[in-house]
Structure 1
Amino acid sequence: MKKPLIGIAGNSLIDLNVTNGLPVTYTPQGFVDGIVAAEGAPIVLPISLPEEAADYIERIDGLLLAGGQDVSPLLYGEEPSLKLGATSPTRDAFEMALIKEAVAQHKPILAVCRGFQLLNVAYGGTLYQDLSHYPDLTVQHIQQTYFDLGTHTIDIEPDSRLGTIFGKTYLVNSYHHQAVKELARAFKPVAWSKDLLIEGFEAVDSKQSIVAVQWHPELMMKRDSKMQDLFNEFVERVNSKEQDKSTGA
């Protein structure tokens, strides 16, 4: 069977020491490895004009949204707080267009960290610009140990896609200073940290195949096979959609 083509929304790096100041399009290697191990064919989508998103989505079978910069608060009606990190308006605009097109074309989505946050914002949700703004913060969400190790537990809705993979509770890594504040109506929360931040959500509409997580499975999967299973499940969702199309379901 032909391997499904998975588009990974890329980032742009300019580092005077590493790239001599030349922009480089990239994605973390863990996402590539996770898709390859899941029998998918990964391809990095460079930051482009929003009007080009439809063509990209038409050519791929599934969309993976990766981590990176903070999401601009202007997208959810707030001014930047003093603790907002670096943003990329061009990346925000392109990835939001990719999201809308993936949903319109019924292409499965897996969103991680920034991707999790941007997906929420794209559908009317809001974010805590910095976790210091979250009144019930009791868990360390920017861990100080190695990022390939889980450091805090999450509770998971057992009937969700994430529950099928991880069970009712699981140990995840954590490296984020922004978080979901108000979840968009298009999504339902399915995983929470012990201080009740949303750590995972899925689409309300059963016709949409969307899973989003706040942690970084691409950093844990070599130590923890369940994290690879998250990529496996994504590619399985993509294959299922393709089979439905071929049978007219």
Structure 2
Amino acid sequence: MMKKPIIGITPDYSYEKTRFKISEDYTNALLKAGGVPVLLFPGEDFPDFVDGILFTGGGDIDPLRFGEEPIRQNGQISPLRDEYELSLCKEAMKRNLPLFGVCRGMQIMNIAAGGGIYQDIEVQTGTTLKHSQQAPRPYATHSITIIPGSQLEKLWRTSKIAVNSLHHQAVSFLGKGFHACARSADGLTEAMEMPEKDFVLGVQWHPESMHTKEQEALFSHFVQAASRYHKRRTAP
């Protein structure tokens, strides 16, 4: 009997409370999909035992990490988390691990691949679309269009869907190897993937909080890809 794949999760960190934290929505979504979630902490060596990594949401990323000076609207940053997640992601990409990035996690993956982000969508793009909702977290507040031929379209078999939205930053240009696979009505990249990889996906919304069949399918396919990686990793 094959063991369940181990999924590493990067938690948020509070400097004020000197405390790591994680929403149970992430762990519950992975458990339901058949994975075994474990937390990854800064200062550790690369976790050779994991079969996939989930980069979670959280605060803003230090603009100096992607070659920019901070604008006034850039929010609270976590240097400890930035350094660890970027190095972790770069090494994971070299090893072809299945990767799933949510909100900030998508932005970390993009920066690790050489891409950039908008420090503040409204200021830097002039969009009038509301990306930071004032509605219950699980509730979908704007639609996205799925790009034809993408892995995401093949998974969902739809061209349009509504998602929740809890961010003020977004991908400005894609890193090496990434392709946009969903966009919002104002043209911003809402999801990105590496088509040549088994599973490397970043989404700007929070699927772990939505509890719909489409969002649960993202975690199921992520865990399935991690299972395939586990089989390769442990093969004699």
Query: Into which bin does the TM-score normalised by the smaller protein fall?
Result: over 0.9
Q: Which residue of 1 aligns with 2:14?
A: 13
Deviation at 1:190, TM superposition (A): 0.6
8 Å Cα contact 2:98-2:226 kept in structure 1: yes
Q: Which residue of 1 aligns with 2:194?
A: 203
2:142 aligned residue (152, 157, 165): 152
Deviation at 1:80, TM superposition (A): 0.6
Aligned Cα root-mean-square deviation (Å):
1.7
Q: Trace 1:6-45 onto structure 2 (pairs within 5 A).
A: 6-13=7-14, 21=17, 23-45=18-40
Q: Please list every run of 5 or more consecutive structure 1 residues that lacks an aligned counterpart in the other structure.
A: 16-20
Equivalent residue letter for 2:230: E
Q: SS of 1:12's equivalent?
A: strand
8 Å Cα contact 1:6-1:63 kept in structure 2: yes
Q: Which residue of 2 aligns with 1:66?
A: 56
Deviation at 1:136, TM superposition (A): 4.9
> Which one is further off, 160-169 or 119-128?
160-169
Equivalent residue letter for 2:135: T
Q: SS of 1:134's equivalent?
A: helix
Q: Which residue of 2 aligns with 1:18?
A: none
> Which one is further off, 136-145 or 78-87?
136-145
Q: Structure 1 208/71 Cα, relative in aligned 2: closer, same or farther at 3 Å?
A: farther
Q: Structure 1 4/177 Cα, relative in aligned 2: closer, same or farther at 3 Å?
A: same
TM-score, structure 2 normalization: 0.93
Q: Distance in 2 between matches of 1:239 and 1:138?
A: 42
Q: Distance in 1 between matches of 2:197 and 2:15?
A: 39
Q: Distance in 1 between matches of 2:110 and 2:95?
A: 18
Deviation at 1:244, TM superposition (A): 4.2
Equivalent residue letter for 1:7: G
Equivalent residue letter for 2:3: K
Q: Which residue of 2 aligns with 1:82?
A: 72
Identity of aligned residues (%): 37
Q: Please list every run of 5 or more consecutive structure 2 residues that lacks an aligned counterpart in the other structure.
A: none
Q: Distance in 2 between matches of 1:103 and 1:127?
A: 19
Deviation at 1:237, TM superposition (A): 1.1
8 Å Cα contact 1:53-1:98 kept in structure 2: no
Q: Which residue of 1 aligns with 2:170?
A: 179
8 Å Cα contact 2:122-2:128 kept in structure 1: no
Q: Which residue of 1 aligns with 2:81?
A: 91
Q: SS of 2:110's equivalent?
A: helix
Q: Which residue of 1 aligns with 2:208?
A: 218
Q: Which runs of 4+ in 1 moved over 6 A?
A: none
Q: SS of 2:38's equivalent?
A: strand
Q: Distance in 1 between matches of 2:45 and 2:99?
A: 14
8 Å Cα contact 1:111-1:211 kept in structure 2: yes
Deviation at 1:110, TM superposition (A): 0.4
Q: Distance in 2 between matches of 1:178 and 1:135?
A: 11
Equivalent residue letter for 1:45: L
In the alignment, structure 1 residue 188 sits paired with structure 2 residue 179: yes
Deviation at 1:96, TM superposition (A): 0.7
1:122 aligned residue (112, 121, 126): 112
Q: Distance in 2 between matches of 1:246 and 1:207?
A: 19
Equivalent residue letter for 1:240: R
In the alignment, structure 1 residue 240 sits paired with structure 2 residue 228: yes
Q: Structure 1 185/200 Cα, relative in aligned 2: closer, same or farther at 3 Å?
A: same
| Cα deviations by residue, 1:152-202 (Å, 9 ceiling, x for unpaired) | 110112422221333211110001000111111221111000100000001
| Equivalent residues, number | 234
Q: Distance in 2 between matches of 1:200 and 1:151?
A: 16
8 Å Cα contact 1:103-1:208 kept in structure 2: no
| Cα deviations by residue, 1:196-239 (Å, 9 ceiling, x for unpaired) | 000000115x1453011000011111xx1221111111001111
TM-score, structure 1 normalization: 0.88
